[in-house]
Structure 1
Amino acid sequence: MNPRVLALTATSIATLIYGITFTVAKEVMPLYIKPFGFIVLRVGGAASVFWLLGLFLKKEQIEKSDYKKIFIAAFFGIALNMLTFFKGLSYTTPISGAVMMVTTPIMVLIFSSILLKERLFLRKIIGVVIGLIGAVVLILYGNNQEDNAENMMLGNFLVFINAASYAMYLVLVREVIQKYNPIVFVKWLYLFGFLLVLPFGISELLEVKWQVMPVSIYLKAGFVVLFATCVTYLFNLFALSKLKPTTVSVFIYLQPVIASIYALIVGSDNLNAVKIGATLLIFLGVFLVTKQTPATTNK
């Protein structure tokens, strides 16, 4: 199969898992595990899985200069990203938080042009903007509930920091990931990430009453660690080794589509012309960004 098609398939599967994860994780926290404690469990569990897998791989030496780059990537892609998202979501409404999250592809476009000196193609810019419009319409129209927010301004700011930090991670990691086996890279990424989040969530993790947790909650927590963390990060890293950060990031627009489809399946939402139109805008935006022309490659 064409490597580009494989990469697009990988990031599509990762996006599908992310879309399901919001519902699964919500059933685990905060009732059984508090948010920051869940982050420590998630990152620590993933780090353990990746280091275990690393034992079966041919030993590969990381260049000393790259440890600093991996640490910075862990700061933006794991620690700052996860901590600000969970804390921000606790202050703002889910709708506002979701709208702020879909600014990520815009941030990636800006960071890529500044740090990677990537040329800004008009087709990509139009695709990102069209996808953004569709995602915002779908998110705003898809939920008519007025949720009480403790501090919406602070919450929205923290979620925006989360979106910007993930965008920075996608851009920074592009160069380093192409030099190493994804497992070798990601085991160090998660080890550094675990050390960074540990001080913030260790106390919440120690409060967990494991003996009273139902088996279903153990399974859902395991899903978040194995699939929503290990599989998604590996798939996205593989996609980043074949595609531009902008192309990978635009798949974030599909998350509200997946959430809507899931809501339709379980009967908690209904379909109408506005939602169909917004979904078509998102798919058009993704198509424009991911479309490869004969004159350009690896875009």
Structure 2
Amino acid sequence: MSKRTLAILAAIGATTIYALNHTIAKSVMPDHVQPFAFIIFRVAGAALLFWIVSIFGPKEKIEKRDYLRLLVCAVLGMGINMLVFFKGLSLSTPINSSVLVTTTPIIVLILSAILIKERISQRKIFGIAIGLIGALGLILFGSEIRQDAPNIPLGNFFILMNSVFYGSYLITVKPLLAKYHPFTFMKWLFTLGIILCLPFGYREFTEIDFANLPIDAVWSILFVVVGTTFCTYLFNIFALTQLKASTLSAFVYIQPLIGILYATAVGKDNLTILKILAACLVLLGVYLASRKASPNLSGS
């Protein structure tokens, strides 16, 4: 099997894990673990794993001039981003979550135009508008009566904010990823994540009834820590060694499809006309906003 084929399989694996995560993480909250306590599991577990694998990486130190940027990345990517996503997922539904997270490329495009003055073509502006209409449709009209989703519109808003903070993280982190080995960077990023998230999740973490935690909840927590947080990063790093970043980003279109199929198959969510329409609008918007212009249209 060629390295390129393995890279494609790795990219599909990462996307599949992300898609399953919406339902698996949701199944634990809030009956067994509250959302902020879940983040403590996630950042602490991932930090431990990255410190272990960093033994096999180069011996690097973060330069003092990069401390501030590293802290900002931790706040955006390990702090606020994770906190609002899991809080949003606890209030909303797996399908809404899997659809809304795909707005990240649109958010990155908007932030790039604002922060680094990147030019946006008319086609991309049209794509941004369509995608945001789909997202806003879920936020404003996505109310359902569900015991496991007490405030769907607010949850959807938090999930959209997750895309905003994660998009900001992606722009901020780029210089550091080019400078440091991934193991070096991620072990410090998740370590800072523990410090940032502990004040928010400590009380909820102490409320967990570990003695009576069901085995399926334990497996779900392990899936989120090892799979969603650790393995997906390694899969994507390997995929980037053989695939272009634009090729890898195209796999975002698979995530809501797998997420919706899995959530409905296990009976954790149901499709509605609004969800289908919103998903179509978001995916169309992401496609138009992220698609590269052909050579003869590059000046548009």
Question: Does TM, scored on the shorter chain, surpass 0.5?
Answer: yes
TM-aligned CA deviation for residue 174 of structure 1: 1.6
**Equivalent residue for 1:289?**
290
Query: Is the 2:133–2:281 contact (alpha carbons within 8 Å) kept by the matching residues of 1?
Result: no
Query: Is the 2:99–2:282 contact (alpha carbons within 8 Å) kept by the matching residues of 1?
Result: no
* Residue identity matched to 1:289: S
TM-aligned CA deviation for residue 16 of structure 1: 2.1
**Equivalent residue for 2:204?**
204
What are structure 2's unaligned runs of at least 5 residues? Answer: none
Query: Is the 1:74–1:193 contact (alpha carbons within 8 Å) kept by the matching residues of 2?
Result: yes
Q: Bigger CA drift: 29-38 or 102-111?
A: 102-111
TM-aligned CA deviation for residue 30 of structure 1: 1.6
Q: Bigger CA drift: 193-202 or 100-109?
A: 100-109
Query: Is the 2:81–2:166 contact (alpha carbons within 8 Å) kept by the matching residues of 1?
Result: yes
Give the aligned CA root-mean-square deviation in angstroms. 4.6
**Equivalent residue for 1:169?**
169
1:184 and 1:134 mapped to 2: Cα distance?
38
Q: Bigger CA drift: 101-110 or 221-230?
A: 101-110
1:187 and 1:7 mapped to 2: Cα distance?
24
Query: Is the 2:138–2:153 contact (alpha carbons within 8 Å) kept by the matching residues of 1?
Result: no
Q: Bigger CA drift: 235-244 or 49-58?
A: 235-244
**Equivalent residue for 1:109?**
109
TM-aligned CA deviation for residue 51 of structure 1: 0.9
2:7 and 2:261 mapped to 1: Cα distance?
23
Q: Deviations over 1:133-176 (max 9, x none)?
A: 67778999999767898667765554443221111011111221
2:6 and 2:176 mapped to 1: Cα distance?
20
**Equivalent residue for 1:56?**
56
TM-aligned CA deviation for residue 45 of structure 1: 0.7
SS at match of 2:22: helix
Query: Is the 2:131–2:286 contact (alpha carbons within 8 Å) kept by the matching residues of 1?
Result: yes
Q: Bigger CA drift: 186-195 or 107-116?
A: 107-116
Matches within 5 A, 1:241-260: 252=252, 254-260=254-260
| CA distance 1:259–1:156, shift in 2 (3 Å) | closer
SS at match of 2:31: coil
TM-aligned CA deviation for residue 230 of structure 1: 1.2
1:144 and 1:253 mapped to 2: Cα distance?
25
TM-aligned CA deviation for residue 102 of structure 1: 4.7
SS at match of 1:114: helix
2:144 and 2:154 mapped to 1: Cα distance?
22
Query: Is the 1:264–1:270 contact (alpha carbons within 8 Å) kept by the matching residues of 2?
Result: yes
TM-aligned CA deviation for residue 2 of structure 1: 11
2:2 and 2:118 mapped to 1: Cα distance?
24
**Equivalent residue for 1:14?**
14
Query: Is the 1:112–1:245 contact (alpha carbons within 8 Å) kept by the matching residues of 2?
Result: no
**Equivalent residue for 1:47?**
47
Q: Bigger CA drift: 210-219 or 90-99?
A: 90-99
1:149 and 1:203 mapped to 2: Cα distance?
22
2:203 and 2:5 mapped to 1: Cα distance?
44
SS at match of 1:55: helix
Matches within 5 A, 1:49-88: 49-88=49-88
| CA distance 1:241–1:124, shift in 2 (3 Å) | farther
TM-aligned CA deviation for residue 205 of structure 1: 1.2
Q: Bigger CA drift: 99-108 or 192-201?
A: 99-108
| CA distance 1:117–1:238, shift in 2 (3 Å) | farther
What are structure 1's unaligned runs of at least 5 residues? Answer: none
Query: Is the 1:97–1:156 contact (alpha carbons within 8 Å) kept by the matching residues of 2?
Result: yes
2:92 and 2:98 mapped to 1: Cα distance?
10
Q: Percent identity?
A: 45
TM-aligned CA deviation for residue 216 of structure 1: 2.4
Question: Taking structure 2 as the reference length, what is the TM-score of the superposition?
Answer: 0.74
Q: Bigger CA drift: 51-60 or 69-78?
A: 51-60
**Equivalent residue for 2:189?**
189
2:238 and 2:8 mapped to 1: Cα distance?
10
TM-aligned CA deviation for residue 262 of structure 1: 1.9
SS at match of 1:119: coil
* Residue identity matched to 2:24: V
Query: Is the 2:39–2:197 contact (alpha carbons within 8 Å) kept by the matching residues of 1?
Result: yes
